[in-house]
Amino acid sequence: MLPGKAAGCTGLATGVWPRPLRPRLLQSATPGRARPGGRTLASAATPAVSGPEDSVDISDKILSEPLKHSDFFSVKELFSVRSLFDARVHLGHKAGCRHRFMEPYIFGSRLGQDIIDLEQTAAHLQLALNFTAHVAYRKGIILFVSRNRQFSHLIETTARNCGEYAHTRYFKGGLLTNAPLLLGPMVCLPDLIIFLHTLNNVFEPHVAVRDAAKMHIPTVGIVDTNCNPCLITYPIPGNDDSPPSIHLFCRLFQTTINRAKQKRRQMEALYRLQGPEGPGAGVQGSAASPSLGA
Amino acid sequence: MAASRVSCGAAASYRLFLGGRVSLARRQGVGKAAAAELQTGAVFQILRLRHTTGVTTKKNVAALRRETYTMDFIKKQIEEFNIGKRHLANMMGEDPETFTQEDIDRAIAYLFPSGLFEKQARPIMKHPEQIFPKQRAIQWGEDGRPFHFLFYTGKQSYYSLMHEAYGKLLEAEKHQNQLQAKGLFSEKTKDLIGSRWLIKEELEEMLVEKLSDQDYAQFIRLLERLLTLHGGVEEEFVQRFRRSVTIQSKKQLIEPVQYDEQGMAFSTSEGKRKSAKAEAVVYEHGSGKIKVNGIDYLLYFPVTQDREQLMFPFCFLDRLGEHDVTCTVSGGGRSSQAGAIRLAVARALCSFVTKEEVEWMRQGRSSASVGRVKKTRKNYGLFTYL
């Protein structure tokens, strides 16, 4: 479900949208962007000029390396079923509010209140966090969306802390579908949209869910028992009304994104150090990096 | 026949002429029209054809869009302004280092005198930041990532301001809760006299963004809620959004009562109406005699209407016939002189009258009208003239 992964260019949200698909991710491959690595002491040892072919090689390696591991960013260790339970993620709404399509994710019903199956939640959460990490690793634009006023400030703070973007305000009609008019002629759309709350203030599905599907933007969303998980790429069945639950999810997303960005910086520094010496050192480096990230 | 021969000749001579133009003209229809016009054979009609071809002119689309000035352009303008300022200072024989904006304005007014009424149409030389409207630079970097974390909301400055204000509110609430827990809570009321909230246009200008009325109202409500809480840190934050308001004192200046040689209490004051100026001396005890420029008022103002004007302040305070008035008046016409004296007398009367009555006089509520149903006509009082 991830188009363009092998190509590694033009972002992950390709589509028929005639965007000025400045291959934002490819630009990192061009030789013009020489960024000083973290370890400048050893820079004297690196070859002075690595030609454009080497840069393309390096960028290919950087982008393809995480795809060879199932959990490159080790997101599994960030949470456990126990921690989800303690944060009250398993609590759903009353049985009357239940959405038909959420039935597979519901463990059962206790005293009229639906209980979400945390085993499934854990699996979905792992997939979603892994995907988010990959997007952040490839320098994608991540947009946090929610329309719940109670947590609006928290979500905006979370987005700011991980260097990504948030939209917890009134969602204007054509923001995604008519972006050049509303935001500017050469604007870049988000590469991933994370919904902390899938419903808006009148308990209807948020417009951005449908618009992101229209614009081929992958979505990650926390779906409660009264939400429709259909159009969301990586749904996470869970409670979106309790403060501990939302605090946990915000913390998880923030940690994942920061970790992924840090890993990217490490990989770039590593490959720049090694230069075109070969994959031998690279493999060792990558074997070391998961433990570094942990 | 002759006409057709002429037209053939015309065709022959103008074939090259037309051929060129037909290739220029972008539509075949033009060629056909040219051929049709040839029948008449008149040069002028062919020439007219040149101007009436059906070629559509493309509108200058760039000009229709809002003018956007690049940063380089603005920087160049600023440099030119600074250099021009120095030249101007040299021209005026002043020191270029200490040449202020006021000096510039004076110099321009001197060098380019303009009789235009519209001040904005006169020549000006101001800093480019005041001339070119503030604009939004491109909001994202080379990599396509926007700079501001609230870019995708559309109104990033406004929402980031709301975010900041709400953050301060949360901190203030936390602080207040801590104080309450410790028991050090004390009621504190802040009075913000002499300042007002900035208006929507001012906020729009500050943020360089369009706002709606609801947005503005929401923001003001948030700031007011912030004010009700404790914490001195928010004072500066809130003060940024308050503008001072000069309080106009509505108090009527009361003349002091003076005493002349015989011990009579009197008070003097002035009044103006159109181009008439009057100075009145009102004696506290009298019999209602009025002398204008040494002449009795009946002789000075033959018209009843003018005398009614003189009578009005006393009538208002129910003090007809209790005061003597001596006044001097100059300028204006008959009616405006009467009005000037009326104003002077009213002001002078303030010193003999209670504060409440002064307030009534200012508002135009005579003792007779107090208790009556409010009149539809607006009362302007005794101290203003329109």
Least confident of A2-11, A75-84, A278-287: A2-11
Which residues of chain B have a CB within 8 Å of the CB of A190? 152
pLDDT, averaged per 10 consecutive residues of chain B (386 residues), comes to: 47 45 46 49 53 54 60 91 94 92 93 91 92 80 92 94 94 89 73 82 91 95 87 77 73 71 84 92 87 92 91 87 90 92 89 75 62 52 61
The reply to whether residue A183 touches residue B145, judged by beta carbons under 8 angstroms, is no
Q: What is the pLDDT of residue A8?
A: 40
Which residues of chain A have a CB within 8 Å of the CB of B144? 22, 24, 141, 188
Strand partners, B278: B271, B329
CA atoms within 13 A on the CB side of A87: 23
Which 3 state secondary structure label does DSSP give B272? strand
Rounded Cα gap, residues B290 and B268, in angstroms: 14
**A142 reaches B (C-beta below 8 A):** no
The reply to whether residue B151 touches residue A165, judged by beta carbons under 8 angstroms, is yes
Of B139, B140, B153, the CB nearest to A167: B153
The reply to whether residue A184 touches residue B138, judged by beta carbons under 8 angstroms, is yes
Q: What is the pLDDT of residue B61?
A: 52
Interface probe with B: pick from A152, A154, A155, A169, most Cβ of B within 10 Å: A169
> Can you read off the two tokens belonging to residue A17?
């949208």
Kindly list the distances between the CA atom of residue A173 and the CA atoms of A198, A206, B209, in Å, as whole numbers in the listed order: 16, 11, 19
Residue A48 pLDDT grade (very low, low, confident, very high; cuts 50, 70, 90): low
For B114: left if phi > 0, alpha if psi spans -120 to 50, otherwise beta; the answer is beta
Rounded Cα gap, residues A29 and A219, in angstroms: 27
Of A22, A165, A175, the CB nearest to B146: A165
> Which residue has better confidence, A25 or B130?
B130
Q: What is the pLDDT of residue A53?
A: 75
Distance from CA of B187 to the nearest CA of A (A): 28
Distance from CA of A22 to the nearest CA of B (A): 8
Let me know: does B331 contact B275? Beta carbons within 8 Å: yes
β-pair type (A234-237, B195-197): unpaired
Interface probe with B: pick from A24, A142, A165, A211, most Cβ of B within 10 Å: A165
**B61 reaches A (C-beta below 8 A):** no
**B116 reaches A (C-beta below 8 A):** no
pLDDT digit string (tens) for A157-172?
999 999 999 999 999 9
The reply to whether residue B152 touches residue A167, judged by beta carbons under 8 angstroms, is yes
Q: What is the pLDDT of residue A214?
A: 96
**B142 reaches A (C-beta below 8 A):** yes
**B99 reaches A (C-beta below 8 A):** no
**A162 reaches B (C-beta below 8 A):** no
Q: What is the pLDDT of residue A4?
A: 41
Let me know: does B340 contact B271? Beta carbons within 8 Å: yes
Closest alpha carbon within chain A to B163:
A153
Kindly list the distances between the CA atom of residue B300 and the CA atoms of B215, B291, B292, B296, in Å, as whole numbers in the listed order: 64, 9, 7, 6
Interface predicted TM-score (ipTM) of this complex, two decimals: 0.77
Q: What is the pLDDT of residue B29?
A: 44
Q: Which among A253, A263, A238 has a CA at the least distance from the CA of A157?
A: A253
Let me know: does B268 contact B255? Beta carbons within 8 Å: yes
The reply to whether residue B152 touches residue A143, judged by beta carbons under 8 angstroms, is yes
Residue A229 pLDDT grade (very low, low, confident, very high; cuts 50, 70, 90): very high
Rounded Cα gap, residues B152 and B138, in angstroms: 14
Q: In this structure, what DSSP letter does residue A10 have?
A: S
**A24 reaches B (C-beta below 8 A):** yes
Mean pLDDT of chain A: 83
Which residues of chain A have a CB within 8 Å of the CB of B166? 153
The reply to whether residue B150 touches residue A188, judged by beta carbons under 8 angstroms, is no
Strand partners, B330: B277
Q: What is the pLDDT of residue B22?
A: 43
The reported pTM is 0.60
Q: What is the pLDDT of residue A118?
A: 97
Rounded mean pLDDT, A174-183 = 93
The residues near B27 (Cβ < 8 Å, ≥ 6 apart) are B53, B54, B55
Which residues of chain A have a CB within 8 Å of the CB of B170? 153
Of B142, B150, B170, the CB nearest to A166: B150
Residue A249 pLDDT grade (very low, low, confident, very high; cuts 50, 70, 90): very high
Q: In this structure, what DSSP letter does residue A148 have?
A: -
**B167 reaches A (C-beta below 8 A):** yes
pLDDT digit string (tens) for A129-158?
999 999 999 999 999 999 999 999 999 999
Let me know: does A175 contact B154? Beta carbons within 8 Å: yes
**A187 reaches B (C-beta below 8 A):** yes
**A261 reaches B (C-beta below 8 A):** no
Of A27, A157, A190, the CB nearest to B152: A190
Rounded Cα gap, residues B68 and B283, in angstroms: 71
Strand partners, B295: B292
Q: What percent of chain A has pLDDT over 90?
A: 70
Distance from CA of B74 to the nearest CA of A (A): 21
Which residues of chain A have a CB within 8 Å of the CB of B154? 172, 175, 182-183
Q: What is the pLDDT of residue B53?
A: 52
